[in-house]
Each structure stands twice: as C-alpha cells, then as structure tokens.
Structure 1
C-alpha cells in the first residue's frame, strides 16, 4: 500500500528553485530570504522547515526625560475635549512640574561634580600629612626600625594617682608593664621605648597599649589612643573621603584622626 501526496505536483517546482539557487551563488542569499517569507504550497515541506531566528530587541532606557514629558503634554493637548479644554492653572502647574524635574536633574549633576572636586581638594590637603604622625582612636601601635617607640594618650574620666600600663604583642602576651602618673587627669601621655621587661629590644610589629586605674575605688580599663606614621594618602570615595595609609596598620579616614603631631 502506498501513500499518495495530493500536492506532489509542486515538488518539481521546488526542486527547480533549489537547483537555481545552487547554480547561482550570487542570488542564493536573496533567494533564501524570499524562501523564509513564502511557502512552497506543500504542507509536508512547510511543516518540516526550520523556524527562522527572531532578532532579540535591544534593551531600551525606561527613564523619562524632559522631551518625553513635553511629548505627553502635547498628546494631552491634542486629545483634549474642545468643549472642556485644560484649565490654565492646571497647565501652568504641569509646566512648573516639568521645570522642577529638570532643575532637580541638573542639581544632582552639579552635586556630583561638587563632590568630586571636594574629594580631590580634601586629598590634596591631606597629602600634607605624609611623613607626620597622627593620633588615631586605637590602642594598637606599630613598632619598626623607623619608629622604635610607640606613643599614645590615655583618657581618664577623673584624676588617677597611678595608672597601670601593659604592653602586649599581637598574641596577647605580656611584654612589659609600668605605671604612669595620672594625677593631672584628662589626657595623659604615655610612651613605650620598645624594650621588654629585661631591657631587650623586641621585634617589630603590632603591639597594644592597655591601661587601667581605679575610678571611684574600682579598677577600670581606660581608653587608649596611639600615634601612627602616615606613609601616603588615597582619594577614597565620596562617602569615606580621603584615606590616610598608616605604616603597618592599614588605612584610616581623615575624619577619624584625633590629632596631628609636628613634622
């Protein structure tokens, strides 16, 4: 039993068209394009034809500009009821809204430019701190051949006769301890010469200065700030501002610096 295709008479025409395309390469592209948009008339051939690839549209900007607002306004005016036109006050209000939006956009651009200029100016001013020491709110100092000692400030809530100072390494081990006079109260200067309890110099690295004293008759830990050497300045971001790069300690915001020593 054989299956007869009622549309078999169209096969020679399709074969002839394919033969023409193969013999003439210059017209193969145009013929292929025409074939995509036309059908052969044979349901079997049209059913097995590969679907054409659809082009993916590019993403468009969804934000509205002032030009879009005026286009909407013009469309509104053209579609309004001639017997009930837009009120003048409403028209003025819409125009004022468009002007406000445009003004806010320009203001944002000016603020961004001003922020960039301010950051650059701040970094330029902070560059004068390179080579100097700044007081930072941290009890950790860095000991090196360039800085053989660590200096700091102990903050006391009241006058304390004796303040116990402990020097610890990065592992929390005690290196040396001594006492300083805090009878004057307020901020008390403290300095460590980089020697251990036996008077020998210690290796370079990070060391912590811990301070404690009796406040109202009870032992209490006291906050300590240390001095660090500024090696360079980074621009940072608009939110952080200029960043001071400290020797062995990383970076700190310029706004967090408590004091600056003489060069």
Structure 2
C-alpha cells in the first residue's frame, strides 16, 4: 500500500498551475491580435464601405466651397452609398453640372470686378483731358479766385422773364451785391458776377452763392442756378462713383454730374 505525501501533491499542483499561466497569457495575446486583425476583412470593396475613423473632408476656412471640397464630398458620398443601390448616373451628372455652374459664376464675378477696375481707370484717363477747363455743375455756389475775378453761371427759366434779380451772398449768408439780368430770351440765361461789392470794390477770394429770382405768373420765384468751376485734377474714384473731378475751391464731383464743359 503506497502512501501519498501531501507536500509532494501541493508542489505538483503548483507546478501545473505555473505551467498553465504562460499558456493563458499567450492565448490572451493571440486573442487580442486576432481581434485587431478582424478590423480588416481582406476584401478592398468591403473595407471601403466601413465608416472612416477620421473625416476626409477638410475643414473649410470660409463659407465658400472650393473644387477640392466638392471632390472630397463626392468621394465621401461614393464610399457611403449602398452598393446594391448606387447613385444614379443622372444624379451624379446633375451634381457635377451644378458645381460647374457655381464655379463658373464665381469666376464670372471675378472677371466683372476686374472689368470694373479697368473701366474706372479708362474713365479717369479720359477725364484727365478736362483738367484746366471749366465744367458746369448743378450748384449755385462758385469759387471766386484772384486769377479770374468773376463767377459765371447759368439760370434756367421755363418762360421769358424780362428782369431777373441776382443776389450774391458769401459763405455766411451775408448779402454782398444785387443786380439785374435780362431774361427775356428765356431758356438758359447767362449770368456773370464781376467779383465786386455793392459799391464796386473787389471782394476777397472765396465761395459765393448766386441766388436768382424772377416773376413767374405774377409771383416771385427762385430759379435753378448752375455755376462753372475750374477742374484742377482727376481722381480715380471707385466702380460705383466713377472718376471724380476735383474743382478749385468747390471740392470733388462725379463726372456723371457734369452738365457742360467750357474752354473758358
């Protein structure tokens, strides 16, 4: 009859337990590796249908979509579509045509901006021929300079008026001189102020307003007055304003507001 030593039995069980532990660790490692490998099926088509871990669409810096954004969205759409019900060819062509239209409109806008800039420069170049001449502007205020010593204006009347009363006022509204002009010819009547006060003395250079009134249908009425101004330079301006004429003592005015051009 054999006896069993408890100590030997315990050692044997411990040895078996220690020998099993590395195997279990190896099985766990293999299981993890196998799980990692299952992320790829080996089939390129099925792998392409998986959701990407990161978005392939770049973050746009602005609200406008570029051609690169369009192709990114297109590739994203192709990868996400159902292989058994793909996008119809007509829909794909319609999407591409829509993007081409938007891209063409954007390019057209850029060309229009360039064309406006070119037109503005060309207009300013043509307006430069007005430098040194006088232009008629829709304003009753003219500049009296020591070189010319007079202000010329045009009074528009709807009918013949025998006597037109002209009042010359300075910038503060003070009356400088009054005189009469014959308006019997009607239409556009020329008015010239010689730059002198009521007593014939020369007045200082500056801006003066010419107020003209006449009797129309038995009552006195204020009549529209336009004055001549000397063009000193031309500014380019913008596409909205066009070329700007800089007038001596008066300021700037759009070339489209000029009523007439005079040599003197």
* TM-score over 0.5 (shorter chain): yes
* Range 94-103 or range 69-78, more displaced: 69-78
Counterpart secondary structure, 1:102? helix
Counterpart secondary structure, 2:93? helix
Partner of 1:118: 119
| 1:167 to 2:164 alignment | no
| 1:245 to 2:254 alignment | no
Give the Cα separation in 2 of the matches to 1:84 and 1:183: 89
Matched ranges for 1:23-42 at <5 A:
none
Q: CA deviation at 1:89?
A: 2.2
Deviations 1:10-37 (A, max 9, x none): xxxxxxxxxxxxxxxxxxxxxxxxxxxx
| 1:232 to 2:237 alignment | no
Counterpart secondary structure, 1:135? strand
Deviations 1:219-250 (A, max 9, x none): 11001000000011111111111111111111
Matched ranges for 1:125-144 at <5 A:
125-144=126-145
Partner of 1:193: 194
Deviations 1:159-203 (A, max 9, x none): 222111111111111111111121222111111000111111111
Counterpart secondary structure, 1:239? coil
Counterpart secondary structure, 1:191? strand
Give the Cα separation in 2 of the matches to 1:184 and 1:66: 69
Q: CA deviation at 1:61?
A: 3.7
Any unmatched runs of 5+ in structure 1? 1-58
Q: CA deviation at 1:62?
A: 4.3
Matched ranges for 1:35-74 at <5 A:
60-74=61-75
Matched ranges for 1:153-164 at <5 A:
153-164=154-165
Q: CA deviation at 1:82?
A: 2.1
Partner of 2:206: 205
Counterpart secondary structure, 2:196? coil
Q: CA deviation at 1:123?
A: 0.6
Partner of 2:151: 150
* Number of positions where the alignment pairs a residue of Structure 1 with one of Structure 2: 206
Deviations 1:140-168 (A, max 9, x none): 00011122100010111222221111111
Counterpart secondary structure, 2:176? strand
Counterpart secondary structure, 2:202? coil
Any unmatched runs of 5+ in structure 2? 1-59
**Normalising to structure 1: TM-score of the pair?**
0.75
Give the Cα separation in 1 of the matches to 2:160 and 2:205: 34
Counterpart secondary structure, 1:260? strand
**Normalising to structure 2: TM-score of the pair?**
0.75
Give the Cα separation in 1 of the matches to 2:115 and 2:237: 15
Partner of 2:40: none
Partner of 2:185: 184
Give the Cα separation in 2 of the matches to 1:196 and 1:183: 26
Give the Cα separation in 1 of the matches to 2:217 and 2:72: 75
Q: What is the aligned-residue RMSD (CA, Å)?
A: 1.6
Counterpart secondary structure, 2:237? coil
